[in-house]
Amino acid sequence: MPKKVVKGSTKPFKGEVTPPGDKSISHRSLMLGALATGKTVVTGFLNCEDTISTANAMRAMGAGIEINGTDVTAVGNGLRGLKEPGDVIDAGNSGTTTRLLTGLLGAQDFFSVVTGDKYLRARPMKRVTDPLRLMGARITGREGGNKLPLAIDGGGLRGISYRLPVASAQVKSALLLAGLYASGETEVIEPEPTRDHTERMLGYMGVTLQRSGESITITPRERDFEGRKISVPADISSAAFFMVAALINPGSEVLIRNVGVNPLRTGVVDILKDMGGDISLLDEREVSGEPVADLLVKSSALKGVTIGGALIPRAIDELPVIATAAAYAEGTTVIRDAAELRVKETDRIKAIATELGKMGADVEEFEDGMAITGKGRLTGAACESRGDHRIAMAVAVAASRAEGETEIDDAGAVAVSFPEFFEVLKGLRS
């Protein structure tokens, strides 16, 4: 799917949708399933390019992983049961695979090499390799270990206390995974709370962690933990596109089922509600250690808001589509403290500012964010995803209410997290 054309329409979005499983949780279910003894059965798994990269990596180290649609069976050989891979591990486009895997590989008593596609090879990795080196990991790579491929001569790690320079759930998770094997305690101190799926799943699998204020501490695990059943909720990052589509298109009402509403991931809900969005959480419950709810979203007159500080880590992946919402809101929305967006699959600040600008949006770009002054209308244009799934989907949502047609180049990037996105979006208008 090199290009996709989205036609603007006055027809509302109506109906129900269950987005694909949470990508972050799906990655972690494979890794921890491979480290457990016995069988881990996963339902609601996100079967996409990124998670397949993780599955292939764990298979390369001897884990038995069978994927059948959204169902997965992982058979692990215990914490010390991984084997040296016979070839380079290809993480594809997945930053989560790479960073979490680097922490895990840094602790293993064998040699490994990790690479990825051209986009992933351009992304910075020192934020994870530097603290792992402090733990004793021997990691080399391009630009002093900042770029893939990374060569990792693992084992012999020692626990450290490390304050994250930038809030990052991926770096935190990498250090916690390494800490399972290190001598002594490993403490990670966060400048702002980030998504805690790793901590929740480790706890669900029987691993003890201590949390005190900004600090999370893990002690080396002497005994194996056993595999468990894991039910993966729908990804709130994927749900966000339907939330915004329903909010900005008059007369829309969409029920989004089985969404993970981890409080460290619901920044998008808080922001859209603050903008005036009519969003209700129904049937709140807990599944496999994660909070879950159904979201009822109705079209709303949105207004501009200021977004920054502690809200940013809770909504970092959803900011491109929040920018889309802002383009249709009354007044100006200001996003600050979001420099992290520049080192995602692409520079998402530049990307969304440029693409919305092509459609007539009033966007001012900052080093750490942007200001979007809503005009209430956009016009279809020739747009580019830059190989980034979230940019492709954010532009598609903007195009859903724009006048005329919007052509999105490299729209196949949505396969990274939501292969059926365009079909599902269209189906809610049929």
pLDDT tens digits for 318-373?
A: 999 999 999 999 999 999 999 999 988 899 999 999 999 999 999 999 999 999 99
Q: Is the pLDDT of residue 394 over 70?
A: yes
Q: Are 259 and 177 found together in one domain?
A: no
From residue 369, give the alpha-carbon distance in Å to each of 40, 306, 336: 41, 11, 5
Q: Are 264 and 378 found together in one domain?
A: yes
pLDDT band at residue 376, thresholds of 50, 70 and 90? confident
Q: Are 254 and 396 found together in one domain?
A: yes
Q: Are 225 and 242 found together in one domain?
A: no
Which residue, 213, 231, 249, sits at the end of a domain? 231
Beta bridge pairs of residue 285: 292
Q: Please state the domain count of the chain.
A: 2
The mean pLDDT value of the chain amounts to 96
Which residue, 231, 259, 289, sits at the end of a domain? 231
Q: How far apart are CA 307 and CA 267, in angstroms?
A: 10
pLDDT band at residue 192, thresholds of 50, 70 and 90? confident
Q: Are 81 and 103 found together in one domain?
A: yes
Q: Is the pLDDT of residue 283 over 80?
A: yes
Q: Are 221 and 153 found together in one domain?
A: yes
Q: Are 209 and 347 found together in one domain?
A: no
Which residue, 231, 263, 287, sits at the end of a domain? 231
Q: How many CB atoms lie within 10 A of CB 210?
A: 11
Q: Are 176 and 287 found together in one domain?
A: no
CATH number of the domain that residue 318 is part of: 3.65.10.10
Whether 261 contacts 292, CB under 8 Å: yes
Which residue's structure tokens are 């829309």? 252
Q: Are 182 and 35 found together in one domain?
A: yes
Buried (b) or exposed (e) across 82-91, using 16+ Cβ within 10 A?
beebeeebbb
Q: Are 15 and 160 found together in one domain?
A: no
User: Which tokens in the block code for residue 46?
Assistant: 């996100």
Determine the pLDDT at residue 1. 56
Q: Which of the residues 294, 317, 388, 410 is marked catalytic?
A: 317
Mean pLDDT of 247-255: 98
Q: Are 372 and 389 found together in one domain?
A: yes
Q: Range of 57's domain? A: 23-231
3-state SS, one letter per residue, for 237-271: HHHHHHHHHHHHCCCCEEEEEEEECCCCCCHHHHH
Q: Is the dihedral of CA 174, 176, 178, 184 positive or negative?
A: positive
> Annotated catalytic, 317?
yes
Mean pLDDT of 38-46: 97
Determine the pLDDT at residue 247. 98
* Percent of the chain predicted with pLDDT > 70: 100
Q: Is the pLDDT of residue 30 over 60?
A: yes
pLDDT band at residue 254, thresholds of 50, 70 and 90? very high
Determine the pLDDT at residue 375. 86
Phi-psi region of 283 (alpha: psi -120 to 50; beta: other; left: phi over 0): left
Mean pLDDT of 253-261: 98
